[in-house]
A and B are shown apart, each in its own frame.
Chain A
Amino acid sequence: MAWVSTGKNGMRRVQKTVTIAQPAERLYAFWRNFEQLPHFMDHLEAVRVEGGKRSHWVAKAPAGKRVEWDAEITEERAGERIAWRSLPGADVANAGEVEFRAAPGDRGTEVKVVIEYDPPAGRAGAVVAKLFGEEPGVQLDEDLWRFKQLMESGRIPGTDGQPHGKR
């Protein structure tokens, strides 16, 4: 689903690109406000922007638990690129970057996301698996597709609450 690889430093790397029929500026602005990421990133419960380049992230963990960490933006170029990384002390070191590039013709914008994380062994490993998806490639793929749906049609379609007969 997405490209998943393990780097020499042991960090797991996941990459996925999607084309969204919207201008880069709009997509950049939406993403730059990290508090909006939980709208389409299922594993996130909340992100709190704390002024300047800092943010506090809360993710869902198994058994109703939570995992939290602080992060900072390391790079930003309006309409083009945002990079962030967790601060020392995070349970699971992680970093992410998103790039926005014009797609050919009238197709809109190519959005490429790379997430890196340090997959620890043992118990924490199980937490990470859930955090970043049992199959991390699937998690990122679905998150990006939901971002596309949200930006192109204004909503993420679902069927919760629709009628059905006896299961």
Chain B
Amino acid sequence: MRALCWRGVGDVAVENVPDPTILDGRDAILKITSTAICGSDLHLLDGFIPALKPGDILGHEFMGEVVETGKDVTNLKKGDRVAVPFNIACGGCWHCRRTEFSLCETSNPNHRALAEAFGYPTAALFGYTHLYGGIAGGQAEYVRVPFADVGAMHVPDGLPDEQVLFLTDIFPTGWMAAENAAIEPGDVVAVWGCGPVGQFTIVSAFLLGAGRVIAIDRIPERLAMAQGRGAEVINYEENDDLVETLKELTGGRGPDACIDAVGAEAHGTGPGGVYDKVKAMAGMETDRPTALRQVIQACRPGGRVSIPGVYGGAVDKFPIGPAFGKALTFRMGQTHTHRYMRPLLERVQKGEVDPSFVITHRLPLERAPEAYKTFRDKQDGCIKVVLKPGA
């Protein structure tokens, strides 16, 4: 089959690779009908996250048709149309039973790598380095789904792929980000980052009762898309004092909740940003927390900070003083995708949300390498790319 493989920093290519096979009784094999490139895939392209080998297949947002099931899978059959969460969860460990699926303790074959990095292992992910299990990803024609009996969600006919695909990651991620902000009715919520996760965070914040959402970015088409979702927008490159602006916009109070949908590769400008870049290059700091520092400075006393991330390592100059002094609540983590897929599918079916709004580019899988670059460089108005295998 054809599959998108990592070749080195800044280099991905579509190659011929063997088709996946059933390796375990709880596996299923899918023929992929649609697959997307995620902002977090750019961390892999850029080599921000180590533990990749040339030839690793990437991709963790995919859906398709079941073509084969392992002997222990009883809730799926050949021909079923399904969407699969980007994390792999067994359903039986303590965390899975608490619906904390991104913390599954048994799905990661390389538990020690993550245990050494974080102290404890967490769930395996599709196509997201050997830290997360080295599981072959879904930017390909076929994929093996471990623990398919737990992960795969049936998709009804009548909904096109484009309205369902983002239930695999970015819609649940935006939803959990908004949920983690503990929004009270009428709250003002500020969202840093108008990429796809930021867009779904804005949508979710309103559905969860926010009175106003203020969205921050620098890319005009992303700000325009956020406005289309009902957000007020700030272009931080045209703004001298973001924290003061947010204060003025909120009657001097500050936003009630602040959400960092930017993560580790923040394109920080100004002296703080330069510091972070230099330290990251010197290997002394790994993540660039420009957005996170602003989030903390801007949040009102007693407010909530929600971090959908992604972060991987350590940051310098973390304003723990202001965070402590203002008694902020922090909630963060990888999305517990399985928890949200079905409730959000219902909202899509009812017409409350059409997730396809976020798509700007549709390309055949063969053009994935070029699509990665377009997405990374934010060219051509690129916000979200959907790839079609075999097209």
State the A residues within 8 Å of B (CB).
Answer: 1, 19, 21, 106-108, 138, 141-142, 145, 148-149, 152-167
Contact = CB atoms under 8 A, between A and B. Distances in A.
B109 A165 contact: no
B20 to A, nearest CB: 5
A122 B93 CA distance: 44
A152 B89 CA distance: 12
A158 B27 CA distance: 12
A155 B108 CA distance: 11
B144 interface: yes
B112 interface: yes
Contact of A153 (B7, B13, B23, B93): B93
- Mostly, the A contact residues are loop
A107 B107 CA distance: 18
Contact of B146 (A141, A145, A157, A160): A157
A163 B55 CA distance: 9
Contact of B93 (A21, A157, A162): A21
Contact of B112 (A21, A142, A157, A166): A142
A78 to B, nearest CB: 24
A98 B381 CA distance: 60
Contact of B106 (A108, A153, A167): A153
Contact of A162 (B20, B108, B121): B20
A166 B54 contact: yes
Contact of B21 (A107, A156, A161): A161
Nearest to B144: A162
Given A149-B105, A157-B24, 20 more contacts: A21-B94, A107-B94, A148-B105, A152-B105, A154-B72, A157-B108, A157-B109, A157-B124, A157-B133, A157-B146, A159-B136, A163-B20, A163-B136, A165-B13, A165-B15, A165-B54, A165-B56, A166-B5, A166-B55, A167-B55
Given A21-B97, A157-B107, A165 B55 contact: yes
A145 B108 CA distance: 10
Contacts of B136: 159, 162-164
Interface of B: 1, 3, 5, 7, 13, 15, 17-21, 23-26, 53-57, 72, 90-94, 97, 105-109, 111-112, 115, 121, 124, 133-136, 140, 144, 146-147
A152 to B, nearest CB: 5
Given A107-B94, A163-B1, A164-B57, A155 B21 contact: no
B294 to A, nearest CB: 38
B25 A163 contact: no
Contacts of B21: 161
A153 B17 contact: no
A21 B92 contact: yes
Nearest to A161: B23
A149 B18 contact: no
16 contacts: A145-B112, A156-B109, A158-B109, A159-B23, A160-B23, A161-B23, A162-B23, A162-B144, A163-B17, A163-B57, A163-B140, A164-B17, A164-B55, A164-B56, A165-B55, A167-B54
B90 A145 contact: no
A1 to B, nearest CB: 7
Contacts of B13: 165
A153 B5 contact: no
B51 to A, nearest CB: 13
Given A21-B97, A157-B24, A159-B136, A165 B5 contact: yes
A145 B116 CA distance: 14
Nearest to B21: A161
Contact of B18 (A19, A145, A163): A163
Contacts of A161: 21, 23
Contacts of A166: 5, 15, 54-55
Nearest to A145: B111
A142 B92 CA distance: 20
Contacts of B25: 155
Given A153-B107, A166-B5, A167-B54, A159 B133 contact: yes
